Amino acid sequence: MDLKFSKVTRKGPITIVTLSRPEVYNALHTDAHFELHEVFNAFAADPDQWVAIVTGAGDKAFCAGNDLKWQAAGGKRGWASSGFGGLTSRFDCDKPIIAAVNGVAMGGGFEIALACDLIIAAENAKFALPEPRVGLAALAGGLHRLPRQIGLKQAMGMILTARHVSAREGLELGFVNEVVPQGEVVAAAERWAETICQNSPMSIRASKQTLQRGLETSLEQAIAEQREYPAVKAMAASQDYIEGPKAFSEKRPPKWLGK
């Protein structure tokens, strides 16, 4: 895949996607969205890749959101079915995705982070949905994900004021999982990914899918239907499902195959 606006590296079962437009604080335009759509499609389809990390090039920005200068110059705004950055409307990926936020995460950049399963933030990270200040609204999922993750009143406070939130406050509010020194955020995200990879990827996918689908319905219905979820069925039919108890009984580390 010929990549112009992002970089992809792989470390074993971990895919690291770097948004690479540092000259505009990794802001994204139409071509970048479609490229990232293909990048995350490839990750989702690769059975040997179990966890993804998304970060930004440089030490100033994770992603500044929509490239407003490009749009003001006549660039036509748009993205693929998977949404802003190839992630905000990607509802069918059961593999964990970690945001390693290395600087500002504004607007669509914050919405990308909110669409990830975990957010690891550098101490210099800043988060906001500032779209109202330029006559827009955060319609790439931020207006829906933020209140689901931190509660209605706290989300309203951020959204209606468009204020900037530090990494530490994000941790207190609950949308950040860990704050680390500047320059260490990708390494910290890799540690999280490596810990996740110690578990069966089939079980991880089943757990993520069950959690997400369960939030869409009542507790009673979620428990009643969970064994019919595709990822749960795949887990129960997998080699890992046999390997886990076998390794436990033999007192040895399991050898996960992800199938």
Per-residue burial over 30-65, b if 16 or more Cβ lie within 10 Å, else e, is bebbbbbbebbbebbeeeebbbbbbbbbbeebbbbb
Q: How far apart are CA 158 and CA 195, in angstroms?
A: 32
Q: Are 77 and 71 in contact (CB under 8 A)?
A: yes
Active-site hit among 35, 38, 111, 178: 111
Active-site hit among 23, 131, 194, 243: 131
Q: For residue 233, how far is the Cα from the chain centroid? A: 24
**111 belongs to the catalytic site:** yes
Joined tokens for residue 101: 């936020």
| Helical H segments across the chain, by residue range | 30-45, 68-72, 108-115, 142-150, 152-161, 167-173, 185-196, 201-214, 219-225, 230-236, 239-249
Strands 6-11 and 14-19: antiparallel
126 contact partners, CB below 8 Å, separation of at least 6: 103, 104, 105, 106, 164, 165, 166, 167
| Helical H segments across 142-200, by residue range | 142-150, 152-161, 167-173, 185-196
**23 belongs to the catalytic site:** no
Chain position carrying tokens 């019919």: 228
Residue 227's alpha-carbon distances to 41, 96, 258, 259, in angstroms, are: 26, 20, 19, 18
* Residues recognised as catalytic: 111, 131
